[in-house]
Amino acid sequence: MAKKPEQTASFMVRFHQKIFEEDGESNVQWRGKVSHVQGGDEQRFSDFKEAVTFIQEKLSELTLEATKEHSPEQREGILKKSLDMWKTVAQVGPKVIMDTIKDPKKQIAQIQDQIQDQISHLGDEIGEKVHIDQWRNASRSDFKKVKKSINELAGEIKKLHAKIDKLSKKK
Amino acid sequence: MSQLLDTLDKLKTFQKNAPIRIQTLGQFNLWRNNTKIDPKEWGRDKTIQLLQYFISNRHRHALHKEKIMDHLWEEGDDRDFKVALHGINKVLEPERPPRTEPTYIIRQGISYQLNLERIWIDVEALEKYVIIGNEALGENNTISKKAYKSAIEIYQGIYLPNRIYEDWSSEEREKTQMLILGAYITLAEILVEENPTESIRLAQNAISIDPTWEDAYRLQMQAYRIKGNRPQAIKTYQKCVDVLDEEYGIDPLPETKKLIKEIEEIS
């Protein structure tokens, strides 16, 4: 019995790590290659988004190929559902990890900016920039913890804002 | 260290004397008692495919029949598996008396695995040579060189080139490519001072496997510098810049930039 390759897409993803010193600072760069096994195509990437796009394209092709016999309306519906599923995986999935893989410094800066944004609501007197040195060697779980803490902090700040507004109105 | 040398010699002896030898790199071939098997002996392609599947999964002990069938036939039945397995055993042991257990394909209930003590497989040997090379590196570079050279001699091309579209073969292919890239680069590094020409050739082989492998370009630049060929070193750097820009949209590493700066400063 013949196999049905049109129902399966396999991908091989290679990550190659480059750790280097630049301007007295340790850096890490990721280079990668994603290969579509059944089709033989491959794509190199230094930004993980490119790998995600490549996989998404191949999966869309797979869906289109498998729905050739369907009506245009059915095809459109199936493809939409297929893409929706993929979007959910890509977005709800390890976004923080992807961003961190792509650019850890940028990710730290983003977290720093989020903290800064929240702090700035409390007034200029405590608006001093948060130092990032101790976060340079942070792990993924540290980033997750920070993200969780930021969310909790944002909630608390909202409550504080509401209280301040209430007090201001009373005055 | 003498233990590593011993292991290296044993591997070489096994490569010569194993009753069954299998080549998977570059192309697929099998030798039974030093006689190359004619492709016609295999009968159907599924027989070869099943053996190649066993090779690709040789370290997953005791492969379950259902799992194998799932990968190779999808909707096949027991009979397909039995026919293919019988085909392998017939090629490996044509003289085996009826109702005796096969020597090379070990069966445990409904699980199967290759007898790696009796079968020499190029990918298996390549990995073992690279491991010896890595273990001896820095302690005894003579052994390291010997081991890496042995691995490189075995490498005739990618793993099972006619199965590149089969997902069960991808893992082994990727693993072997990384092993051989490592062997080329490390041996090129060891040899760069004593034999820069050979170092350039080895780095070039690494580039032919992965044109974006920056370490290989840097090694070539170093070797050209040692040979006093400044223009070629600069040309190599430019090629590296172009490839990295085209494939990744990035610059070379500071280490590579520093090296080209040093080369350019040579008057």
Residue type present at position B253: L
Q: Which of A4, A20, A45 sits opposite B255 (nearest CB)?
A: A20
The minimum CA-CA distance between B77 and chain A, rounded to whole Å, is 9
Q: B147 vs A11, A140, B135, B142, CA distance in Å?
A: 32, 38, 10, 9
Binned at pLDDT 50, 70 and 90, residue B99 comes out as: confident
**Phi-psi sector, B182: left (phi>0), alpha (psi -120 to 50), beta:** alpha
Question: Whole-angstrom Cα distance, residue B236 to residue B224?
Answer: 9
Binned at pLDDT 50, 70 and 90, residue A107 comes out as: low
Question: Whole-angstrom Cα distance, residue B139 to residue B144?
Answer: 9
- Residues in contact with A57: Cβ distance below 8 Å, sequence separation at least 6, in sequence order: none
Chain A residue closest to B81 (CA)? A1
Which residues of chain A have a CB within 8 Å of the CB of B170? 10, 12, 35, 37
**Cβ separation B253–A8 shorter than 8 A:** no
Q: Which residue has the tokens 């003579």?
A: B142
Residue B97's Cβ-count burial label (10 Å; 0-12, 13-18, 19+) is: exposed
The minimum CA-CA distance between B49 and chain A, rounded to whole Å, is 13
Q: Are A122 and A140 in contact (CB under 8 A)?
A: no
Start-to-end C-alpha separation, chain B: 44
Q: B128 vs B27, B150, B267, CA distance in Å?
A: 20, 10, 45
Q: Are A66 and A81 in contact (CB under 8 A)?
A: no
pLDDT for the residue B131: 96
Which residues of chain B have a CB within 8 Å of the CB of A22? 254
Q: Poorest-confidence range of A6-10, B139-143, B164-168, B251-255?
A: A6-10
Average pLDDT, chain A: 72
Chain B residue closest to A24 (CA)? B254
**Cβ separation B74–A4 shorter than 8 A:** yes
How far is C-alpha B121 from the geometric centre of its chain's CA atoms? 10
Q: Poorest-confidence range of A125-129, A160-164, B105-109, B203-207?
A: A125-129
Residue type present at position B259: L
- What integer is the mean pLDDT of A46-60? 90
Domains and CATH numbers, chain B: 19-120 (1.10.10.10), 122-265 (1.25.40.10)
- Residues in contact with B166: Cβ distance below 8 Å, sequence separation at least 6, in sequence order: A37, B49
Q: Which of B80, B166, B212 sits opposite A44 (nearest CB)?
A: B212
Q: Which of A10, A21, A46 sits opposite B250 (nearest CB)?
A: A46
Q: A68 vs A4, A6, B189, CA distance in Å?
A: 15, 11, 53
Predicted ipTM beyond 0.85: no
Chain A residue closest to B70 (CA)? A3
Q: Are B178 and B149 in contact (CB under 8 A)?
A: no
Residue B207's Cβ-count burial label (10 Å; 0-12, 13-18, 19+) is: buried
Average pLDDT, chain B: 94
Question: Whole-angstrom Cα distance, residue B193 to residue B180?
Answer: 21
pLDDT for the residue A84: 75
Chain B residue closest to A21 (CA)? B254
- Condensed to tens digits (0 to 9), the pLDDT of residues B133-159 reads 999 999 999 999 999 999 999 999 999
**Cβ separation A37–B170 shorter than 8 A:** yes
**Cβ separation B165–A37 shorter than 8 A:** yes
**Cβ separation A18–B253 shorter than 8 A:** yes
- Condensed to tens digits (0 to 9), the pLDDT of residues B166-178 reads 989 999 999 999 9
Q: Which of A3, A10, A38 sits opposite B74 (nearest CB)?
A: A3
DSSP secondary structure of B36-83:
EPPGGGG-SHHHHHHHHHHHHTTTSSSEEHHHHHHHHTSS--HHHHHH
pLDDT for the residue A1: 40
Q: Which of B164, B250, B255 sits opposite A40 (nearest CB)?
A: B164
Question: Whole-angstrom Cα distance, residue B44 to residue B33?
Answer: 22
Question: Whole-angstrom Cα distance, residue A121 to residue B41?
Answer: 79
Q: What pTM does this model have?
A: 0.75
Supply the angle between the helices B214-227 and B167-191 in degrees, to the nearest 10. 20
CA angle B109, B112, B113 (to 5 degrees): 140
- Residues in contact with B79: Cβ distance below 8 Å, sequence separation at least 6, in sequence order: none
More confident residue, B2 or B181: B181
Which residues of chain B have a CB within 8 Å of the CB of A3? 73-74
Which residues of chain B have a CB within 8 Å of the CB of A37? 164-167, 170
Q: Which two tokens stand for residue B22?
A: 């299998």
pLDDT for the residue B120: 97
Query: Is the four-CA dihedral A53, A57, A63, A69 of positive or negative sign?
Result: positive
pLDDT for the residue A46: 93
More confident residue, B211 or A89: B211
Q: What are phi and psi of B114, to 5 degrees?
A: -80, 145
Question: Whole-angstrom Cα distance, residue A77 to residue A84?
Answer: 10
- What integer is the mean pLDDT of B109-128? 94
Start-to-end C-alpha separation, chain A: 82
